[in-house]
Structure 1
Amino acid sequence: MILICIFLLMTLYQEIDYFNEGRNADKFRMSFRNVKWVRVPLVYWDYTTTNVLVLEYLPGIKINQLDKMNLRRCNRSLVAKRIVEAYLIQVLETGLFHADPHPGNLAIDNDEAIIYYDFGMMGEIKTTTRQRLLDLFYAVYEKDTQKVVNSLINLGALQSTGDLSTTRNQAMLMPHRVHRIEKFVNQLESGDLKLRVRVLESEREAMKARILQRATLYTIFCGTLLNLGMTLRSQGNHVGAITSLVGAGVFLTLFWGSM
């Protein structure tokens, strides 16, 4: 309860500190300087004070305004891909991530670029933690259960004691299931026409499996960062603890969004 109160207190003060928000916007823009399809408004420091933050005007379609996106014939698959890729860049590459990604803070430009708003609440992930998260991603991609377990231990999500065979089996259950379903669908697509009536159902099952896979990964990352935050708090590193908890919140948001 004390940690939650501290977190809320610091977050509220950060939200109303316009100089802090302006600095965050500048840092965030710099982290995407080589990505043309991510846009962050410029800060006009000459006109910014403790009472007002003046930003570049970057209008766009909010990501939940599907009717407007359809009227403009936006490629929604491309937009979704870019949003996911942008967060992978934030979490796994730059370490600086937008910690308040609701539809009011994300918009689509005319060329389907992603526009970010509101930089009052940001989070940072240390280089060592990013590297360990990358190791975990690669281990899941390579379907190497031992590497998955080792990565979770390095992240502090698992203890290296006891029998971890069940954990190894569960860690890779969903990727294998997705692979089997996709392989079966591919066989149906190239096989007898009489079997094609089963393709639609198989695709639905594959979609469910993908959703469960993403939810599993988000849960792992959320738990890892939550555990890391509690560990840092016990060591007296409150800033690091709050950052980790914000990161856990990001993955919790992604988890709920994927279900």
Structure 2
Amino acid sequence: MVTRFQRYRQIGDVLVKYGFGILVEEFVPGGERLRGFGKTRKDDQSVYERIRLAIEELGPTYVKFGQIMSTRRELLPPEMVEELQKLQDRVAPVPYADIRPVIAEHCRNLDECFDIIEAEPVASASLSQVHRAVTRDGRILALKVQRPGIAELIETDITILRSLAKRANALFPDLRVYNPEGVVDEFVTQIRRELDFTQDGMNAERLGRNLADLPCVRIPRIHWDLSGPAMLAMDYVEGVRIDDVEAIQALGLSPGDIAATGFEAYVKQIFVDGFFHGDPHPGNLLVTRKGEVVFLDYGIVGVLRPERRRVFVDLLLAMSGTDVAGVISALKKLDVRIDPAVLDAVKDDLYVVLLDYRETKIEQMNFGTAIRGLTETLRRYRIRVPSTLMIMMKVIVMVMDIGTRLEPSFNFDQRIRPYLLDIAAAQRLSPDNVTGAMHSIVGAVESLIAIPGNVNETLKTLSEGTITLELEGHDLDEIVGVIDRTSDKIIVGVVVAAIVVGSSLVLRVADVPVPGYVSTLATLGYVFAVIVGFYAVYNVLRYSRGIRK
């Protein structure tokens, strides 16, 4: 078993070899002793190409990490994404003598279980390799067997990746917007799932049930009596890669029909079932002599809850209809947070992207251009996006690429829009939606019926004097001030009214002789009361207008 410090040394050696000595010095313990040694890169290799080559040499953990990061177009430059998409996890196979004990863990007596296990694997990847076998009862199987010691190596690499992400967060504050530690945590969850072949088999069976109604789609049957966490036994399927047009034609099949079958299968998985095969590279899709499209490798799957599916449908419809407001609305529903300060700029960029797509000649239209434009806009403004959205977009782009290889005139936009419109209509009238609407209506009616009772209860509480108000200190001060001002106005009003009444009585008394100065005082009091009254009315009107404003 490779220790953590040995692995650090290996990583440092590889990074220095490809010209990343500065990273070694910053991130790898003891890296300053390695920088500048072993540099063998070619000068004509771009930095992104060297990153890809270094990842391939670092082994399965980093290859898987690179493959997953290739879906995060909103985080990485397009040139880097393009290189990461070239990552291949095909490696030299482990000798059968090392693989045999893993098989024996799932079948104690191999001679009783199998007539034949071919020592030469039919496929070899970084986590596992596949051997063809024939059981005693005549079943022809493909045995997907985990490489010995791979789980321990990956756990060591996970510890190192988490440490590197933490250092990156501390050393480069600008990277925090991309949440390096969160990205690594997502990767850890994914690769641990891939190491559990039992989960792999359960994913296969769920896909098989969901796609059972499509006669030209096939998911190999899992044989659980010979399967476990480190080995998965399934039906062996003969076929050619889905991107091998000549081989498909040699079987007497139409590449256009194959493209249509694969397209329909993915539309159903994503938008109807909400559970889809997440790694549709051509090596994982085979075509049989019967024209069946066979899905292989179920470690990476996407999951979409019903409410998310509806939003994704709205998002794609808005993109295909150049509806920028609809795109922004759908992104918000997917918890994509856009800074209000850049919202207008984002809308402008999206409008140009969608306009360029719509104005392309119909025979050259490629919906992948619109998706890449969307993700590039998100990256430019450092907008974080849920990983499920990026996986779905990656799958759509890969399906489109395969479709155009099989049929150059394959037009994703024309094909998917009728599906999306039908799906949107069906979703809005689905039992779940109808049930939800009924619950909302019932809740609203119940609330309406409860209004008289609530009002009666409130009035009863008020009449009993048992109502309680909770006030904070500043609220109480404000209330006291209002009361003081109101009482002052009342006092002024009462005094003015008394003066008016008194002056009126004095001036109206004609029978009783009064001194002249009394009449003069009464007249002056009358005038004073009128002036104060007008002033008071003016203040009241001005205050009322201030409140309305």
Question: What's the TM-score, normalizing by structure 1?
Answer: 0.69
Contact 2:337 2:384 in 1 (8 A): no
Does residue 14 of the first structure (1) align with residue 159 of the second (2)?
no
SS of corresponding position for 2:235? coil
Cα distance, 1:71–1:48 mapped onto 2, change above 3 Å:
same
> 1:100-249 counterparts in 2 under 5 A?
100-157=279-336, 159=338, 161=340, 162-163=343-344, 166-167=348-349, 169-170=351-352, 172-178=354-360, 181-182=361-362, 206-207=363-364, 210-211=365-366, 213-217=367-371, 219-220=373-374, 227-229=384-386, 243-244=388-389, 246-247=391-392, 249=394
How many residues in Structure 1 have an aligned counterpart in Structure 2?
Answer: 218
Distance in structure 2 (CA, Å) of the matches to 1:256 and 1:73 = 22
Contact 2:240 2:247 in 1 (8 A): yes
Does residue 82 of the first structure (1) align with residue 297 of the second (2)?
no
> 1:87-102 counterparts in 2 under 5 A?
87-102=266-281
Cα distance, 1:80–1:127 mapped onto 2, change above 3 Å:
same
Give the match for residue 247 of structure 2.
68
- Structure 1 runs of 4+ aligned residues shifted over 6 Å read 255-259
Cα distance, 1:106–1:255 mapped onto 2, change above 3 Å:
closer
For residue 83 of structure 1, report the CA deviation from its aligned partner. 2.1
SS of corresponding position for 2:238? coil
> Of the candidates 228, 231, 256, which is equivalent to residue 52 of structure 1?
231
Letter in 2 for 1:177: E
For residue 128 of structure 1, report the CA deviation from its aligned partner. 1.8
SS of corresponding position for 2:190? helix
* RMSD across aligned positions (CA): 3.2
Residue by residue over 1:64-116, the C-alpha shift from the partner in whole angstroms, topping out at 9 and shown as x without a partner, is 33331121232112222222332222222211111222222101122322100
Letter in 2 for 1:77: G
Residue by residue over 1:26-57, the C-alpha shift from the partner in whole angstroms, topping out at 9 and shown as x without a partner, is 11111212222211011111222233211122
Give the match for residue 78 of structure 2.
none
Letter in 2 for 1:49: G
Residue by residue over 1:214-257, the C-alpha shift from the partner in whole angstroms, topping out at 9 and shown as x without a partner, is 32135537959x8342xxxxxxxxxxx5x455445535656887
Contact 2:214 2:265 in 1 (8 A): no
| Larger CA Rg, structure 1 vs 2 | 2
Contact 2:354 2:370 in 1 (8 A): no
Residue by residue over 1:191-227, the C-alpha shift from the partner in whole angstroms, topping out at 9 and shown as x without a partner, is xxxxxxxxxxxxxxx31xx13x432135537959x83
Contact 1:156 1:227 in 2 (8 A): no
Cα distance, 1:20–1:108 mapped onto 2, change above 3 Å:
same
Residue range with higher mean Cα deviation, 249-258 or 141-150: 249-258
SS of corresponding position for 2:222? coil
Distance in structure 2 (CA, Å) of the matches to 1:167 and 1:152 = 15
Letter in 1 for 2:370: T
SS of corresponding position for 1:49? coil
Distance in structure 2 (CA, Å) of the matches to 1:221 and 1:85 = 24
- Percent identical: 20
Cα distance, 1:170–1:54 mapped onto 2, change above 3 Å:
same
Cα distance, 1:255–1:64 mapped onto 2, change above 3 Å:
closer
Question: What's the TM-score, normalizing by structure 2?
Answer: 0.35
Distance in structure 2 (CA, Å) of the matches to 1:34 and 1:160 = 45
Cα distance, 1:69–1:246 mapped onto 2, change above 3 Å:
same
Distance in structure 2 (CA, Å) of the matches to 1:143 and 1:160 = 22
Which blocks of at least 5 consecutive residues in structure 1 are unaligned?
183-205, 230-240
Distance in structure 1 (CA, Å) of the matches to 2:243 and 2:390 = 26
For residue 20 of structure 1, report the CA deviation from its aligned partner. 0.6
SS of corresponding position for 2:344? coil
Distance in structure 2 (CA, Å) of the matches to 1:132 and 1:85 = 20
Which blocks of at least 5 consecutive residues in structure 2 are unaligned?
1-179, 406-549
Distance in structure 1 (CA, Å) of the matches to 2:390 and 2:333 = 18
Contact 1:218 1:254 in 2 (8 A): no
For residue 168 of structure 1, report the CA deviation from its aligned partner. 6.4
Letter in 1 for 2:344: D
Distance in structure 2 (CA, Å) of the matches to 1:40 and 1:24 = 10
The structure showing larger relative contact order (alpha-carbon pairs under 8 Å, at least 6 residues apart) is: 1
Distance in structure 2 (CA, Å) of the matches to 1:40 and 1:254 = 18
Distance in structure 1 (CA, Å) of the matches to 2:233 and 2:353 = 47
Distance in structure 1 (CA, Å) of the matches to 2:331 and 2:291 = 36
> 1:34-45 counterparts in 2 under 5 A?
34-45=213-224
Distance in structure 2 (CA, Å) of the matches to 1:153 and 1:167 = 17
Cα distance, 1:168–1:24 mapped onto 2, change above 3 Å:
closer
Residue by residue over 1:108-162, the C-alpha shift from the partner in whole angstroms, topping out at 9 and shown as x without a partner, is 1223221001112212122222111111223344554543443344334574845
SS of corresponding position for 1:20? helix
